[in-house]
Structure 1
Amino acid sequence: MALVVQKYGGSSLATPELIRKVAERVVRKKEEGHDLVVVVSAMGKTTDDLIRLAEEVAEEPPPREMDMLLSSGEQISMALLAMAIQDMGYPAISLTGPQAGIMTDTSHRKARILEVDTSRVRKELSEGKIVIVAGFQGLSTEGEITTLGRGGSDRTAVALAYALGAEGCEIYTDVEGVFTADPRIVPEAKKIPVISGDEMLELASSGAKVMEARSVEFATKYGVEVHVRSTFSDEPGTVIKREDPAMEKVLVRGIALDTKEAKVTIRRVPDRPGVAAAIFSPLADANINVDMIVQNVSQDGFTDLSFTVSTSDLKTALAICEGTKARVGAEEVTADEDVAKVSVVGVGMRSHAGVAAKMFKALADEGINIEMITTSEIRISCVVRKEQGERAVRALHRAFELDKEPT
């Protein structure tokens, strides 16, 4: 029998009724002759509720205790789904991340998976059981419970699919797949049937919410084919797979908007060797991902340096930069949360010129000012004012004619 790994998000498990519907879908797959490992997120908004509880009892909850608290959400889901499947007459067992062999580094709240010991999962599968695994969590090399950060359940599913040699990895969510833009912003957005792993990684890193970037990176690196589809529909979704030459025929695959970035500016930084390293090394040590970086032209031996970070990391980043400011002799550290990042993504950029010019003209025609620009081989991103973000997405979607059926 072929092994399939499925993952169900919080919106798919938000109520007891929905959990029973997921159980029915899992059982149908089992009846088709598949072995099944099912990874689950916490029910609905459970994780957000737990974070609020922690903030009500402590101003700055310790990261270790936060992991102990947050890991409980997925354990509720896994147990309830296992109960629902057993109630339908099928053998099932729930396992926590550590019980399923998910081993991580020691970074609380943002742990990385180091390896997966599949022995327990294989044992349960060999006994004919459907294995339900709590996503988002693991056991560190120091024996501590860790969580993987937002989107961590996707990462659990992809890691298990690779480690178990699964035939496929199915990510079930409340949308029907990956679209050319967020349909809530662009009603004419089209579902993309097939997308390369590199394109999906760039879209996820740029704000697309269907899959989390590190999960896509892992799937792409290890060749795990992922099918993103809706829990509430039997329609095919979007397949994320290795790139093939035909994909370059499409100039731009999609538009992404990220409204959860903030811009940090350090003013009058001494323009000399080693200063940039002095600024960014402490941020890296704190596991803060820096996205876009812009340095102004030097004047009188000083320059301004701006970069973007996730809003969730802003408080820590500012504290670190305040400490660095005195050491390097900078004048001031400021933050701007009223920004958004809009990106166009497509492997066709490798072989077609003029994408940047078309993007900048479309934004200019809308009266949208560009504050920062960054590029990769298949992506161009611009920072704009937050209130102009959605208008920018709509303008770019029209400019690149993404309302036509994708191929």
Structure 2
Amino acid sequence: MGLYVQKYGGTSVGSVERIEAVAEKIAGFKANGHDVVVAVSAMSGETNRLLGLAGEISEQPAPRELDVLVSTGEQVTIALLCMALHKRGVEARSYTGNQVKILTDSAHTKARIRNIDIENMRGDLEQGRVVVVAGFQGVDEDGNITTLGRGGSDTTGVALAAALGADECQIYTDVDGVYTTDPRVVEGARRLEKITFEEMLEMAGQGSKVLQIRSVEFAGKYKVPLRVLSSFVDGPGTLITLEEEGSAMEQVVVSGIAFNRDEAKVTVLGVPDTPGAAAKILAPIGSANIEVDVIVQNISADNTTDLTFTVHRNEVEKAKSILETVAKEVGAREVISDSKVAKVSIVGVGMRSHAGVASTMFEALANDNINIQMITTSEIKIAVIIEERYLELAVRALHSAFGLDADTVTED
């Protein structure tokens, strides 16, 4: 008998009927003698509804008050789920992030977990109760409610599993595992039985929406066995593991194609080509808590250069506003932006030991007349920035070029 931490996303608890179904699944685990801790999201659409209300009041609501508001969505879910479990004769107790307590830093709307107090949860588990915890939220040292950012319930689930030493963290969502790419874009996409933490981290970082990147970081750091499953259909899901050796994985050069539509490109033109200029430009962006992704600096001409980088599309205007002031200070000529770009990436541990991966990728894109604007690489990833209108065409081309289509793969 084991200890399982299960996380259920918004679609999994999107209605009373779905909450009842989740309770039935949890009751089954208890009936088999397992201990269960559950982290849940707000009901599907609830967080957006609350953000909409905030937007009706203010275009830029105070982050502290925004966290107070949006954290209420999960509180509804934990109470309803406990009621559904009680109806089935299963003892259960709900906890908000504050009650657990999940201690975070004070970065409202993007807080990071520092520590989790497991004493009350351990006591409940010893009494045979199911523990139901509100995902996505915590509390800082001053007692302020904080939230962990979009997808933060995944991080809550993995962090609880790490703190409790769970046998497995199961992420239940509306898909039945991790696929070679989004099946809505490529009909022949396949579910992966297994993927490494390293590959999943790159997939999440490059735009895969199955798991929040911080949850994968947590799982890899604390070696938490992680499995992605469907709330709607039974199946083995996808196991995310430390393993990367073995013939099966060595045969696979690219495991998946990730993409992100939420990209925007910012370019600072005519930057003086002097030591420290890039730091002066990027430091204020970091201080504003704006995450920078791909960075490219052109070859110097006339003692100036152009610095281009990508940010989340929702933050491009904020970034541009900051940079227009910075550009004057460093003597740059102009700041321009482009919100009609997207990122597509190939990911696979097999890339370490196979040559010609980049050329295959670039040739596949060229064959469809897709121009590459920016390139970034790691040992197991190549990502490119392209025009957004070509994104789905690029994903399909690459999925086929690397033999990931279902009808081109023979599984042992």
Secondary structure of 2:209 counterpart: coil
More off after superposition, 187-196 vs 317-326: 317-326
For residue 268 of structure 1, the aligned residue among 267, 270, 279 is 270
For 1:219-251, what per-residue CA distance to the aligned partner results, in whole angstroms no more than 9, with x for missing partners? 111101101010011111000010331223310
CA RMSD of aligned residues (A): 1.0
What SS does the corresponding residue of 2:43 show, helix, strand or coil? coil
In 2, Cα distance between equivalents of 1:207 and 1:258: 4
1:312 CA drift (Å): 2.6
Once the two structures are superposed, residues 15-65 of structure 1 have per-residue CA deviations (whole angstroms, 9 ceiling, x without a partner) of 110110010001001111111100000100111111111011112111001
Instruction: Give matches, 1:62-73, under 5 Å.
Output: 62-73=62-73
Contact 1:181 1:189 in 2 (8 A): yes
The question of whether the paired residues in 2 share the 8 Å contact of 1:201 and 1:216 is answered with yes
1:30 is matched with 30
Question: 1:312-391 residue pairs with structure 2 within 5 A?
Answer: 312-391=314-393
1:65-104 to 2 correspondence within 5 Å? 65-104=65-104
1:181 aligns with 2:181: yes
Give the drift of 1:405. Answer: 4.8
Shift of 1:406: 5.9
CA–CA distance in structure 2, aligned partners of residues 323 and 117 of structure 1: 44
- Matched residues in 2 for 1:406 and 1:360: separation? 27
Distance (whole Å) between structure 2 residues aligned to residue 46 and residue 401 of structure 1: 40
Contact 2:6–2:36 (CA<8 Å) still a contact in 1?
yes
Percent same amino acid at aligned positions? 55
Closer, same or farther: CA 210–144 of 1 in aligned 2, 3 Å: same
Residue 144 (structure 1) aligned with residue 154 (structure 2): no
Map 1:297-316 to 2 at 5 A.
Answer: 297-316=299-318
1:140-171 CA-partner distances (Å, limit 9, x unpaired): 12221100001100000000001001010000
What CA deviation, in whole Å up to 9, does each residue of 1:258-308 have, x standing for no partner?
000110111111111111111111222222211100111111111111100
Q: Distance in 2 between matches of 1:98 and 1:300?
A: 57
Q: Is the 8 A contact 2:244 2:349 kept in 1?
A: no
What per-residue deviation string (whole Å, max 9, x for no partner) do you get for residues 200-235 of structure 1?
000000111100111111111110110101001111
Query: What is residue 224 of structure 2 aligned with on the other side?
Result: 224
Amino acid at match of 2:299: V
Corresponding residue number in structure 1 for 2:154? 154
Q: Any unmatched runs of 5+ in structure 2?
A: none
Is 1:192–1:406's contact at 8 Å kept on the other side of the alignment? Answer: no
Which of structure 1's runs of 4+ aligned residues deviate more than 3 A? Answer: none
Q: 1:190·1:405 contact (CA, 8 Å) conserved in 2? A: no
| C-alpha displacement of 1:319 | 2.3
Residue from 278, 281, 286 that aligns with 1:279: 281
Tell me the equivalent position of 1:288: 290
Amino acid at match of 2:273: D
Contact 1:255-1:397 at 8 Å conserved across structures: yes
Which amino acid in 1 is paired with 2:268? I
2:161 corresponds to 1:169 = no
CA distance in 1, matches of 2:131, 2:410: 38
Q: Which residue of 2 aligns with 1:6?
A: 6
* Contact in 1 for aligned 2:269/2:335 (Cα 8 Å): yes
Number of matched pairs: 407
**Would you say the 8 A contact 2:297–2:305 is kept in 1?**
yes
- Structure 2 SS opposite 1:391: helix
Partner residue, 2:197: 197
The residue type equivalent to 2:366 in the other structure is A
Give the 5 Å matches for 1:209-248: 209-246=209-246, 247-248=249-250
Task: Determine the C-alpha separation between the residues in 2 that align with 1:318 and 1:108.
Answer: 22
Q: Which amino acid aligns with 2:80?
A: L
**Cα distance change of structure 1 residues 384 and 35 upon mapping to structure 2, 3 Å threshold:** same
Partner of 1:117: 117
- Match status 1:255 vs 2:257: yes
- CA distance in structure 1 between the partners assigned to 2:100 and 2:315 by the alignment: 30
Distance 2:374 2:285 in 1: 20
Mapped contact 2:102–2:138 kept (Cα < 8 A): yes
TM (norm. structure 1) is 0.98
Distance 1:226 1:313 in 2: 31
